[in-house]
């Protein structure tokens, strides 16, 4: 989202006031923001730190993270007429020489460097014109499969890749892949426009660039020493305990096999409908971006297990710190976590919830210099588990018509015929932008992650809601503007019909054990960092329960001191298998309070994590849940109080 997209005059005045409070001077003549930033050409090749979002992209390449092993990048295909290949290569070579970030790499130390000299940028060309159609299509699909999900080594130049496929004498396909760690989408628009200009006129002289992305990043880092940044940090850190989790959508696996692969859903709202939607939103005091975000939230809420959730918003923050900033390439994006929990108002009409979302956005945007990436880092540290907000909303409304920007390349490339983006630790990337006067919507979604039919139904519901919001003013007053499809309502009712009679000798946890024996490969527990099947859950619990043999007797208590997560479930089940009861102890409680609870409960043992066991120093027999490795399931249910063989 952009700060000024679709603002009313009152909202624009509010933004200016906030910027002034942050020490940003507004030019009296035209209201442009002027922030002093000094170019340092002599140091342009010295290492410099990554921005928060670049650091997230860099770490996301590592497979240790859930939905990691991915390079954040965009891939597009263009089709145009015959190309002068030599002139095309020279135009790109000039662009690479001109823009520092097209020569950027990231070293193993996590620092970015601009290479002063690079080899000739190779653009492989393949002539497919004489191949039979089926072989040609197979080759083109193979190139797409390779380039669209490539994970380049960040310390090896180039982080940009181009290939050319000659399809016929009159048709050329250009394959373009760019790592987002060096350039965001609007930087690529700058690049394509200049390449088009240089291709059309190789002697063209482009304006000199003295300001660099390195200068911009160092300006951002300098701002972190200000009182304004400190206030933003306090704002977010005080909200950590109350921040809602991400939407819990129907998934079949939190970690599909192999590196995540993304697929795109796209829709286009014609100009007349889009203008109508904007007019109705404006009448209600809503920006177009917020109206689309609120509609997205309605769809998510219909499918999410938790009605209160947090979304990850992409912000385009190309702050005007220098007159040349609009010609500089780099990744100027940031993230903001928008908690929609307080905006739910389930009995209120849609437009009321949308207004609350807008109010919350403005309150949060005032402190956006402490980015969503940093909030997640602190949240993960506090909860002692990796926390992700994998549902992303990216709005480019207000930064210009994408169709017009694509046409600025002199018509050389034409419009993309195919495109896909991918981002580490993201499940859904929802993108909205203005296209040829209308609205363009992309959902880039991890394949194989969601239950069959869920994404298709959600996307259809979103498209239908946008059309109704454009066509019918009454839709804005509906309390529940999104309804589940009939077949999914029936499936949900059947799944929630869990009434069952326990046998006379059954204990509370026996149905879980029976389920593990019957369907060991089904998902039992879904946590932010991993999912457990019934077999793994019970296998771990059986192994852990062995440690309690000799301690667990009827009416005995076992203390469980763990944050919310899968280890807590394993510990509770292990205690019940051992024949004892458990008493939960919040590890974040002050020590005095924890000691009081332990003294009153008189537990016979403690189940926790290795670091918490050392920290709490209770003197009790203590066992780390993470040390219990799954063991094979028995043929029959274990008997409480006996060795679980």
Q: Across all residues in the chain, what is the average pLDDT?
A: 87
Q: Is the CB of residue 297 less than 8 Å from the CB of residue 357? A: yes
pLDDT of 65-111, one tens digit each? Answer: 666 667 788 999 999 889 999 999 999 999 999 999 999 999 999 99
d(CA 79, CA 89): 17
Mean pLDDT of 218-236: 94
Confidence of residue 550 (pLDDT cuts 50, 70, 90): confident
Domain 9-247+262-319+329-477 carries which CATH code?
3.30.559.30
Confidence of residue 169 (pLDDT cuts 50, 70, 90): very high
pTM of the model: 0.76
> pLDDT at position 30, please?
38
Same fold, 9-247+262-319+329-477 and 510-627: no
Q: Is the CB of residue 566 less than 8 Å from the CB of residue 532? A: yes
Q: What are phi and psi of 435, to 5 degrees?
A: -135, 115
Mean pLDDT of 154-173: 95
**Is 203 a residue whose pLDDT tops 80?**
yes
**CATH architecture of the domain with residue range 510-627:** 3-Layer(aba) Sandwich (3.40)
d(CA 332, CA 338): 19
The secondary element (H helix, E strand) that includes residue 196 is helix 185-200
CA dihedral 543, 549, 554, 559 (to 10 degrees): -70
Mean pLDDT of 149-157: 91
Domain boundaries, the chain: 9-247+262-319+329-477, 510-627
**Is 15 a residue whose pLDDT tops 60?**
no
Confidence of residue 55 (pLDDT cuts 50, 70, 90): very high
Pairing of strands 310-316, 262-269: unpaired
């Amino acid at each position: 989202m952009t700060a000024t997209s679709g603002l009313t005059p009152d909202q624009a005045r509010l933004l200016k006031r906030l910027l002034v409070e942050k020490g940003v001077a507004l030019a009296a003549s035209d209201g442009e923001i002027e922030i002093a930033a000094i170019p340092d050409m002599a140091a342009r090749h010295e290492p410099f730190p990554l921005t928060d979002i670049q650091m997230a992209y860099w770490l996301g390449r590592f497979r240790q993270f859930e939905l990691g092993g991915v390079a954040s990048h965009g891939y597009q295909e263009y089709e145009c007429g015959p190309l002068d290949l030599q002139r095309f290569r020279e135009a790109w070579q000039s662009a690479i020489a001109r823009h520092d970030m097209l020569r950027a790499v990231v070293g193993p130390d996590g620092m970015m460097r601009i290479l002063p000299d690079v080899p000739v940028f190779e653009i492989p060309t393949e002539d497919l014109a004489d191949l039979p159609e089926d072989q040609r299509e197979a080759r083109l699909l193979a190139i797409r499969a390779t380039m669209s999900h490539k994970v380049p080594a960040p310390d090896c130049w180039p982080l940009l890749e181009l290939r050319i496929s000659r399809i016929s004498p009159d048709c050329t396909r250009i394959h373009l892949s760019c790592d987002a760690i060096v350039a965001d989408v609007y930087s690529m628009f700058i690049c394509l426009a200049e390449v088009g200009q240089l291709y059309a006129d190789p002697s063209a002289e482009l304006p000199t660039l003295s300001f660099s992305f390195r200068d911009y990043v160092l300006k951002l880092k300098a701002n972190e020493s200000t009182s304004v940044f400190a206030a933003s940090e306090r704002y977010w850190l005080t909200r950590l305990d109350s921040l809602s989790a991400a939407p819990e959508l129907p998934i079949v696996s939190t970690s599909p096999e192999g590196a995540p692969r993304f697929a795109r859903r796209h829709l286009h709202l014609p100009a007349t409908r889009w203008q109508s939607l904007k007019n109705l939103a404006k009448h209600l005091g809503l920006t177009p971006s917020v109206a689309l975000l609120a509609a997205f939230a309605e769809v998510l809420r219909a499918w999410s297990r938790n009605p209160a959730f947090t979304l990850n918003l992409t912000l385009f923050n190309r702050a005007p710190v220098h007159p040349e900033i609009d010609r500089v390439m780099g990744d100027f994006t940031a993230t903001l976590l928008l908690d929609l929990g307080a905006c739910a108002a389930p009995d209120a009409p849609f437009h009321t919830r949308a207004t609350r979302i807008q109010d919350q956005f403005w309150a949060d945007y005032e402190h956006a210099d402490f980015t969503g990436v940093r909030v997640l880092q602190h949240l993960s540290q506090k909860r002692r588990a990796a926390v992700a907000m994998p549902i992303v909303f990216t709005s480019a409304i207000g930064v210009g018509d994408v169709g017009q920007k694509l046409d600025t390349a002199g018509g050389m490339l034409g419009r993309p015929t195919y495109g896909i983006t991918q981002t580490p630790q993201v499940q859904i990337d929802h993108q909205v932008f203005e296209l040829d006067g209308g609205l363009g919507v992309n959902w880039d979604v991890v394949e194989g992650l969601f239950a069959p039919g869920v994404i298709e139904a959600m996307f259809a519901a979103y498209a239908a809601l946008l059309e109704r919001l454009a066509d019918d003013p009454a839709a804005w007053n509906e309390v529940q503007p999104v309804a589940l499809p009939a077949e999914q309502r029936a499936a949900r009712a059947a799944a929630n019909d869990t009434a069952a009679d326990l046998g006379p000798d059954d204990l509370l946890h026996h149905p879980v054990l029976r389920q593990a024996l019957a369907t060991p490969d089904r998902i039992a527990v879904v946590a932010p960092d991993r999912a457990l099947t019934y077999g793994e859950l019970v296998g771990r619990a059986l192994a852990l329960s062995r440690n309690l043999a000799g301690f667990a007797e009827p009416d005995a208590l076992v203390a469980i001191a763990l944050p919310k997560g899968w280890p807590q479930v394993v510990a509770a089940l292990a205690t019940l298998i051992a024949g004892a009861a458990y008493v939960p102890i919040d590890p974040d409680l002050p020590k005095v309070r924890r000691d009081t609870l332990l003294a009153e409960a008189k537990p016979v043992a403690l189940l926790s994590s290795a670091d918490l066991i050392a920290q709490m120093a209770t003197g009790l027999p203590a066992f780390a849940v993470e040390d219990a490795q799954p063991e094979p399931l028995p043929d029959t249910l274990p008997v409480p109080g006996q060795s679980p063989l």
